[in-house]
Chain A
């Protein structure tokens, strides 16, 4: 797990003076400021949207809650680069909306949405499910007695939410928010298409243009430092939170809050988010696909790309689920310095943006292990490094819900720790493992920069197909692979949703 980080360090340390010179300028500072501002803005907006939607769909009498639940989670399957491409081609200065308005109203140009605003909008709309899913799961699992206790003590619904529910949600919100912040910092597709100069875009340009190893690695190192700060803050905030239930709690369905006169506003909010996060991108993709059908789509390429995507993401999901179990067990059941180091090591991989991991592995493979360069194994390993925390985070939550007493009971019944693990713990966390694997699958299938750099020559996935089409402006050519990618990855979302 530490290989890419170690290699990055070696590369920078190798030519330290040169590295410092290459990045010690105002351009780097501006780059950093822009990236941090974007990450902060997206995290704040995504968290606000996600907590509201989670509460509305899980704990109120919102009409058609099941449908809204699915609709609210679906944007997770839309990769940021597809979202960005859809928004740009719809609302861009010369997009579809202008074409519609041009006729009757004579509008020649719309305000430019590229840059900060466009990147913020797209990233917010397609990352908020990362907060929504864990928060919703916790909301469904909370002991309703605690809220009833608060209401019984004369607190209003809002006070109860703020003083009883929210504190219990904080770990889930924190974990989700960290995922969003890291996603934004390492996002490559949306910022590139929205032409927002962030670290990742700069690194890719430097790598493509000059193969300047030291400068690219130095930028990568700064970006990694930013992400480590995010993780450190989250780790600090998590400390002191105790998550075990003290009693068995009530085995009852959660309480539903009556919306009353707020119902129209709640529906409008859900509809607004669904329109921008689902309807607009889908409509745009369908429009371009129809345009494309009018021509002659290359079906063979598309089918082969879909197969490649399934293969590589499936392998990554399997590997991540298998590796996550020991990491999560260690972190939850044996907290301490060692567990902390192991968990941070796993997270460090995720703190490395895909593009940095890919570069580090390319440099490592070409220099040290030429045998693995340009193999599928290297790409799967890159995914494992990148996405292991997704699997272990999901597991961690489901582990924390199990009282350690249950495991101790099994031991006092004469089972060794290993047998307890096999017969009690693993069956109880099977759901969490499956959810974690699904999350890795979903994320890996959409991954762009590492796939671009590490995929064996001629190994085209849906993501690289879409990228090569949009980067040269052929919106038509990218539309069908985009729809296929969405269709392929959408069903695995069912695994992530509570089947209640």
Chain B
């Protein structure tokens, strides 16, 4: 069954793509959620995946984000059926794929997999690669539609070795979609691409996946990639999912100091919680952490505001001096020394320019996370 659950993803347009009627080509089988419950996998003495819980919502893009060696790729291979879990259950919708006494082989899972090295068939041309994936008796005209969807209709008779990395990836994606999967898994899909191509491919893959409406999980170690493409991010560490949520949620409200620092720059300040507020070197913040006593106050550099002159919030502002500055064009990172000697960083727009030695007022203006101190 094809369901056209098309969702235009914002104002992104790809040259030559605007007029394409890609709706029909992209329509995948009905999207279903993927559920991993208490999944475990060991390789000899090494525990790769450890009672892992993961849910990928139907039709959404879920990023599985973690440092290398945390078990991301093993998780993907467990879901695809190329590894057998030692414990736990993996289900697609209400169909159990792997579980006690049950193991559905990869070819019967209806889960597409896009490999890091694309794994195109070297002996088939682009159209041949895509056509290979059509269900038996499938409609050959879908090959053309899918190539149109990924913008490669002109390259149909070329062979994989004649394509650039980005083109190979789009063929791999078209091939995976051709099988009308209920879900698509992507293993580090952008790691083999150069930076400019990567940005374009991120948006394009996001568009294609959104139009296809398939449940997708992609593995990455790049937090920017995870935050920018995914509808939900699952952060993995040492074989477990340690936090799941919308990108904004995991970024602004990390569940632990480790997650905060893995997802980006984080200032961790000592503080004291009590009476519905937290006291820290940047002032008394009116928020209730739900506990009393010593605390860790975690905030992003962009949540630290600065001003050269008087501000409406002078009452809570602290004085600081610029000690160093990293200029990135679109923004700048200021390294500040408070009068108390404490160092913090503040991310500011690229304009106006600040310089070492400038005296500023500093206060908190943004999301703050307060956690009990790590043991």
Residue ranges of A at the interface with B (Cβ–Cβ < 8 Å): 246-248, 251, 403, 405-406, 408-417, 420, 423-424, 427-428
Q: Are A408 and B179 in contact (CB under 8 A)?
A: no
- Per the bound structure, the CA–CA distance linking A410 and B105 in Å amounts to 12
Are the CB atoms of A414 and B110 closer together than 8 Å?
yes
- Is the pair B123, A408 in contact by a Cβ cutoff of 8 Å? no
Additional A-B contact list (16), CB under 8 Å, known A412-B113, A415-B107, A420-B107: A248-B117, A406-B121, A409-B119, A410-B121, A412-B111, A412-B179, A412-B181, A413-B132, A413-B133, A414-B107, A414-B110, A414-B133, A414-B179, A416-B105, A416-B107, A417-B107
B residues with a Cβ closer than 8 A to A are: 80-82, 105-113, 115, 117-123, 132-133, 135, 161-162, 165, 168, 172, 175-176, 178-179, 181, 192
Give CA–CA (A361, B162) in the complex, Å: 53
Residue of A246, A410, A423, A427 with most partner-chain B CB within 10 A: A410
In the assembled complex, how far is the CB of residue B49 from the closest CB belonging to chain A, in whole angstroms?
18
Give the residues in chain B near A413, CB-CB below 8 Å: 107, 112, 132-133, 175-176, 178-179
Which residue on chain A has the smallest CB distance to residue B162? A251
Closest A residue to B187 using CB positions: A405
Interface contact B123-A428, CB-CB below 8 Å = yes
Query: For the complex, what is the distance from the CA of A414 to the CA of B104, rounded to whole Å?
Result: 12
Residues in A whose Cβ lies below 8 Å from that of B112: 412-413
Residues of A within 8 A of B110 (CB): 414
Please give the distance in Å from B118's CB to the nearest CB on chain A. 7
> Which A residues are CB-close (under 8 A) to B108?
414
Q: Please state if B119 and A408 are interface contacts (CB–CB under 8 Å).
A: yes
Q: How far is the CA of A414 from the CA of B176 in the complex (A)?
A: 10
Report the separation of the CA atoms of residues A432 and B178 in the bound assembly, to the nearest whole angstrom. 30
- Residues of chain B within 8 A (CB-CB) of A410 are 121, 132
Query: What are 17 A-B contacts defined by CB distance under 8 Å?
Result: A246-B117, A248-B168, A251-B161, A405-B119, A408-B106, A409-B120, A409-B121, A411-B81, A411-B105, A411-B107, A412-B107, A413-B132, A413-B133, A413-B179, A415-B107, A416-B107, A423-B132
Interchain CA distance A405-B115 in the complex, whole Å: 7
In the complex, the chain A residue whose C-beta lies closest to that of B109 is A412
Residues of B near A246 (CB, < 8 A) are 117
Contact of B106 among A251, A405, A411 (CB under 8 A): A411
A424 to B108, CA, bound (A): 18
Return chain A residues, CB-CB under 8 Å to B80: 408, 412
Are B122 and A428 interface neighbours, CB within 8 A?
yes
The 4 closest A-B pairs by CB, nearest first: A405-B119, A251-B161, A412-B113, A409-B119
Cα–Cα distance between A280 and B178 once the two chains are bound (Å) = 61
Of all chain A residues, the one with the shortest Cβ separation from B106 is A411
Complex CA–CA separation, A413 to B179 (angstroms):
6
On whether the beta carbons of A403 and B119 are closer than 8 Å, the reply is: yes
CA distance A299 to B122 in the complex (A): 49
Cβ 8 A contact of B192, one of A247, A403, A414, A415: A247
Residues of A within 8 A of B120 (CB): 406, 409
User: Which of B106, B121, B165 sits near A412, CB closer than 8 Å?
Assistant: B106
Q: Which residues of B contact A414 (CB under 8 A)?
A: 107-108, 110, 133, 135, 179
In the complex, chain B residues whose CB is within 8 Å of the CB of A411: 81-82, 105-107
Q: How far is the CB of B79 from chain A (nearest CB, A)?
A: 10
B181 / chain A contacts, CB cutoff of 8 Å: 412
B122 touches A405 (CB 8 A): no
Whether A409 lies near B107 (C-beta < 8 A) is: no
In the complex, chain B residues whose CB is within 8 Å of the CB of A408: 80, 82, 106, 113, 115, 119
Q: Of A405, A424, A427, which is within 8 A of B117 by CB?
A: A405
Do A403 and B113 form a contact, CB below 8 Å, given A411-B106, A413-B176?
Answer: no
| A415 contacts across to B, CB distance below 8 A | 107
Using known A-B contacts A409-B115, A413-B112, A423-B132, determine if residue A248 contacts B192 with beta carbons closer than 8 Å.
Answer: yes
Interchain CA distance A378-B328 in the complex, whole Å: 79
**Chain A minimum-CB-distance residue to B181:** A412
- Nearest to A406 among chain B residues (CB) is B119
For B178, list chain A residues within 8 Å (CB): 413
Task: Give Cα A420 to B179, complex, Å.
Answer: 15
Of the candidates B105, B113, B135, B165, the one whose C-beta lies within 8 Å of that of A409 is B113
Could you tell me if B107 and A403 are in contact, using CB atoms closer than 8 angstroms?
no
* Residues in chain A near residue B113, CB distance under 8 A: 408-409, 412
Cα–Cα, bound, A406→B160 (Å): 12
CB distance from B95 to the nearest CB of A (A): 15
Residues of A within 8 A of B179 (CB): 412-414
Interface centre among B80, B81, B111, B115 (most CB of A within 10 A): B115
Residues of A within 8 A of B117 (CB): 246-248, 403, 405
CA distance A347 to B181 in the complex (A): 43
Q: A424: nearest residue on chain B (CB-CB)?
A: B121
Minimum C-beta distance from A389 to chain B (A): 26
Residues of B within 8 Å of A423, CB to CB, are 132
Interchain nearest-CB distance for A421 vs B (Å): 12
The smallest beta-carbon distance between B159 and chain A, in angstroms, is 9
Closest CB in chain B relative to A402 CB, distance in Å: 8
Residues of A within 8 A of B172 (CB): 409
Contacts of B81 in A (CB 8 A): 411-412
Chain A residues positioned under 8 Å from B168 (CB to CB): 248
Q: Which residues of A contact B133 (CB under 8 A)?
A: 413-414
Chain A residue at minimum C-beta to C-beta distance from B117 = A248
Bound-complex Cα distance A149 to B133 (A): 36
A246 to B116, CA, bound (A): 10
Q: Which residue of B lies closest to A247 (CB)?
A: B117
Q: Which residue of B lies closest to A405 (CB)?
A: B119
Q: In the complex, A251 Cα to B115 Cα: how many Å?
A: 18
Bound-state Cα–Cα, A424 to B129, Å: 11
A408 to B121, CA, bound (A): 11
Q: Most B CB atoms within 10 A — which of A409, A413, A416?
A: A409
- Nearest A residue to B165, CB-CB: A248
* Chain B: CB-nearest residue to A402: B122
> How far apart are the CA atoms of A248 and B169 in the complex, in Å?
12
- Least Cβ distance of B97 to chain A in Å? 12
CB distance from B105 to the nearest CB of A (A): 8
Q: B118's closest neighbor in chain A, by CB? A: A248
Chain A residues whose C-beta falls within 8 Å of the C-beta of B121 in the assembled complex: 406, 409-410, 424, 428
What is the CB-to-nearest-CB distance from A398 to chain B, in angstroms, rounded to a whole number? Answer: 12
Contacts of A403 in B (CB 8 A): 117, 119
Q: Which residues of chain A are within 8 angstroms of B82 by Cβ–Cβ distance?
A: 408, 411
- Docked CA distance A405–B176 (Å): 13
**What is the minimal beta-carbon distance from B295 to any residue of chain A, in angstroms?**
45
- Which of A412, A417, A427 touches B123 (beta carbons < 8 Å)? A427
Cα distance, A428 to B159, chains bound together (Å): 14
With the chains together, A176 CA to B120 CA distance in Å?
A: 31
Complex Cα gap A420–B105 (Å): 13
Contacts of B122 in A (CB 8 A): 406, 428
CA distance A474 to B118 in the complex (A): 63
Chain B proximity of A432: nearest CB distance (Å): 13
Q: Which residues of B contact A405 (CB under 8 A)?
A: 115, 117, 119
Bound-state Cα–Cα, A411 to B106, Å: 6
A409 CA to B135 CA in the complex, in Å? 14
